[in-house]
Structure 1
């Protein structure tokens, strides 16, 4: 009877997993105190599990706070107590005994010889028909891998136990069982396992005829001494992942024959960045767009000491009094505007980004952006411009592809037939936003096309004026983020043209279908030799070696990992305080070991 109960529990547990898998649910509760999650394995099992499919994670259900507990007694109502009650606990581990039980149920349920050993009728309540458990006409897909958080209370200090099916063709032929053990951080490299010891550990478990040792490592390029005091945004990061075969020693530097992948995440808005002036310009554009959407505008502090109306009037007077051609005037004014705005770009970025062809509307935009502080300012400036156009005082030069409302009025003024424009309500802000969009689109085109990173056809999605203004601003923000990434990779990493070109295409393609996201990591394959000076004298933030044997479903592995942060989030580790020795900084590493066993089912 005992074996029947065990199999009954196994079948019921597998049914719960099957429902979660087939119905694509995110989570469920099992036995009241166990939570089962269906999640991205690589995200939750940091460096421990590498796979492209979801996994099940079992953990202890977080303690619930009863509604009565929310109503604190009047004698215990200080802010600190209230805060502590509302703290959300992180993931909670299960005991090693419970974890082993769950994995045994998982394993038994996948064994076609063991799991049917109990009559379906015996597994069901009386009200349920045995037909409910009859096998379907088509065999179901194998269950997703199962991982259980453990409390590290056993002598081996186990933090995870895992299991996944091994298949031969469409049939489950066995289960691979995993055990993950961890230790706190240390700078004592003498305490690390040697490569020979790791190979011996694998040999003792699996008795292979051949073994392969593969290495992985990650370096943080922003942490390198080569790039101290750079102008790269502090919340940005560029890391590089290495993979290589034939590891010879623990913590060896990845060879130049490695496969290397850059992970690029760039945030906007750092004052030290060459892109900061453009970022401020885009920020003002966003403020105008938000004002149109909400009816309220939080104006930025003006960069100019003179009023917007004064600057506009002076600009119009200059145009009226000039004796030079409009084209020459535009070039002259473009140079003057650059001086006035006080930009702080690096010399390289100056030569690539600054334009000498700002037309009348773009120069007007620069003046107004730096000085307007109210709706009244915007309206008064545009009234001066429209009046000058109506009286023929100015015949400004504009780009042929300008699409703003003001550009249409200028074209009409050439023929002395201007439409009436009522500068009331939000109309002036609408017109100013159009001016800024036109100008900034040309700025980005100037860089991307000038550097031959893309073509106008590939930019059509981002440059379209057929969308509403809010959507146009969103697409411009995406283009700006792309430019931030390009500037980071060209000025900081010095990537060659072919890599910049490929990265541009990746970013353009991504943002055509995805929302704006500064936390997204763009990945780029690269030759290690191109960035060797960044990492070869640095310490890895993570380093691992995997000893494996067997092929396909019979492959088994033993892994050993070093990391500057713990790879498990449900355990609090002690940290070695001695992480610095004089002028030479020694990295303190957490160690994680993964062992694998293969359980074969009888045919």
Structure 2
């Protein structure tokens, strides 16, 4: 019996070792009833605090294969033509019904294993790491192992885990974890107390000096609850607190806590002061995509007047020969502007510039009105002809770098190069105009607010890279500005925090690819945002008792959360609990993590 167990442990070790050495993260089926995944621990919320970003093995039950119409066996048909036709019609109907049924089936999430199977996997893992077992070689350390459980035991265990402890290059111990969960309750008296938490810790560890720490997360901006339904927001601002000397469950973090802001913004919110800039950037992106793919998705024009007529009116305004037409065009443009929350004093005061040159003003008119390549070509043809014949002498910024700006400089000396406005040339010229204008917009705000210097912006403002890359770098700057606006206008952070946040964002995007999902972090003093959280309930609150030091430190913790931290089990409401619909008290799910240390020497 013992040799069979050791043999199974070695086989399990070889499987894990093979997966650990592979670069691929594809799932592996072990003994038909267990699926093994390799992933980063931070992808699973309940494991994040213990695993962080390190790779771990996840064991779970393989997801059952959903019935597909193509899997059904072929049916025999007779030689009768009429019967063949009838059977074919019936088969087609059956296929359609089966396909509808398959499409209507809910997608199955992760599936747990039984607690007995989970304990077996943990015993194999532990044996394979114990060099004192005679038949086991001195195996190198494996990634931590975590197993999903079905909570069928009295303790309602949702996860069990194991992690090696090394002394030098040798595995000297294993930490065994168990995670138990309870459904939500609004009764605070039913929640675990700190004394009970300390007793749970002492059950597994000999008397020693212990420390108890607290942590909590509050949502400052994000999901809201409307009529008992959670409405998710893509923009999320949370703050994480950590402190020592916890005195009671769910206590508010003291002002002496360390606090970290987490900011993730979503683009395209019409309530944002950056919405106009976002639309402008989207138009710029559509032009760049059109040059790359040959097809452009034109945005809905914001002007009722055509692009050509707007350009004519603009040129005639410069010539001073059609003042009336210019006033009519201005009125039309004003009336056709959408009346949304984007036209806010915040946007006007923070981002609009009053020093737009000729090329930038032309860009503003064209981005709101062009709907085809023909529009772009016709508008630029009007401008180049006016320059060639000396009808206009527009001014431009000294550092303008677009092709049209160069033609304007040449017009000052009445020597204009011939430009063939065919093919993609007009689109390329318009893209350059937009890139030039938006770069100045971002510079105007960041430099004007003294949040950075031109030297720190060189990477983002470079014109030496291709237009596609220039647009990507502008998107990075826009993302940065969205984050800064959130910190400044919503949170009211002081200048020194906004300066550090700006430097952090700039440094991140100089080396990292563009990522709208990235969460930027900033250390702050709790007093700066105390009015946001002190009267609110946390979305996550945690107390942790610890003892020991270094790799032999062991911890016992309880986490209270506004939603389950386990995704493979459905929690049902407690039938014995009476819910007061008028109560403002939040419901909390309880998750408890216990740790045991098994020494091999």
Work out whether the TM-score is over 0.5: yes
Cα distance change on mapping 1:539 and 1:274 into 2, 3 Å: same
Instruction: Extract unaligned runs of 5+ from structure 1.
Output: 121-132, 226-232, 323-332
Could you report, residue by residue, the CA deviation over 1:242-263 in whole angstroms, capped at 9, with x for unpaired residues? 1111110000001111111111
Distance in 2 separating the partners of 1:489 and 1:579? 41
Cα distance change on mapping 1:480 and 1:341 into 2, 3 Å: farther
SS at match of 2:597: strand
SS at match of 1:202: helix
What's the counterpart of residue 539 of structure 1? 537
**Deviation of residue 108 (structure 1)?**
1.1
Could you report, residue by residue, the CA deviation over 1:361-404 in whole angstroms, capped at 9, with x for unpaired residues? 00011111112222222111111111110011111110111111
| 8 Å Cα contact 1:174-1:600 kept in structure 2 | yes
What's the counterpart of residue 83 of structure 1? 103
What's the counterpart of residue 572 of structure 1? 570
What's the counterpart of residue 235 of structure 1? 234
Is 1:100 aligned to residue 109 of structure 2? no
What's the counterpart of residue 279 of structure 2? 280
What's the counterpart of residue 459 of structure 1? 457
Is 1:195 aligned to residue 194 of structure 2? yes
**Deviation of residue 217 (structure 1)?**
0.7
SS at match of 2:214: strand
What's the counterpart of residue 600 of structure 1? 599
Cα distance change on mapping 1:457 and 1:10 into 2, 3 Å: same
**Deviation of residue 56 (structure 1)?**
1.1
Distance in 1 separating the partners of 2:443 and 2:49? 43
Is 1:588 aligned to residue 587 of structure 2? yes
- Superposed CA RMSD: 2.7
| 8 Å Cα contact 1:337-1:363 kept in structure 2 | no
Cα distance change on mapping 1:298 and 1:581 into 2, 3 Å: same
Could you report, residue by residue, the CA deviation over 1:177-206 in whole angstroms, capped at 9, with x for unpaired residues? 111111111111111111111112212221
| 8 Å Cα contact 2:262-2:521 kept in structure 1 | yes
Among 505, 508, 528, the residue aligned to 1:507? 505
Higher alpha-carbon deviation: 24-33 or 36-45: 24-33
Is 1:290 aligned to residue 327 of structure 2? no
Among 406, 418, 421, the residue aligned to 1:420? 418
Cα distance change on mapping 1:533 and 1:580 into 2, 3 Å: farther
What's the counterpart of residue 30 of structure 2? 30
Alignment of 1:53-202 (within 5 A): 53-65=54-66, 70-71=71-72, 74=92, 75=94, 77-78=96-97, 79-84=99-104, 88-114=107-133, 117-118=134-135, 141-202=140-201
Is 1:40 aligned to residue 40 of structure 2? yes
| 8 Å Cα contact 1:576-1:588 kept in structure 2 | no
**TM-score normalised to the size of structure 2?**
0.88
**Deviation of residue 48 (structure 1)?**
5.2
| 8 Å Cα contact 1:208-1:550 kept in structure 2 | no
**Deviation of residue 347 (structure 1)?**
2.8
Distance in 2 separating the partners of 1:298 and 1:554? 59
SS at match of 1:183: strand
Distance in 2 separating the partners of 1:58 and 1:153? 17
Distance in 2 separating the partners of 1:32 and 1:404? 63
SS at match of 1:77: helix
Distance in 2 separating the partners of 1:341 and 1:512? 36
SS at match of 1:599: strand
Instruction: Extract unaligned runs of 5+ from structure 2.
Output: 74-90, 225-231, 322-328
What's the counterpart of residue 251 of structure 1? 250
| 8 Å Cα contact 1:224-1:538 kept in structure 2 | no
Distance in 1 separating the partners of 2:472 and 2:406? 24
Distance in 2 separating the partners of 1:284 and 1:579? 54
What's the counterpart of residue 208 of structure 2? 209
What's the counterpart of residue 393 of structure 1? 391
Number of aligned pairs?
565
| 8 Å Cα contact 1:160-1:181 kept in structure 2 | yes
Could you report, residue by residue, the CA deviation over 1:1-50 in whole angstroms, capped at 9, with x for unpaired residues? x1111111111211211222233442422112211111111222425534
| 8 Å Cα contact 1:289-1:473 kept in structure 2 | yes
Cα distance change on mapping 1:6 and 1:580 into 2, 3 Å: closer
**Deviation of residue 598 (structure 1)?**
0.9
Higher alpha-carbon deviation: 13-22 or 387-396: 13-22
**Deviation of residue 485 (structure 1)?**
0.9
SS at match of 1:585: coil
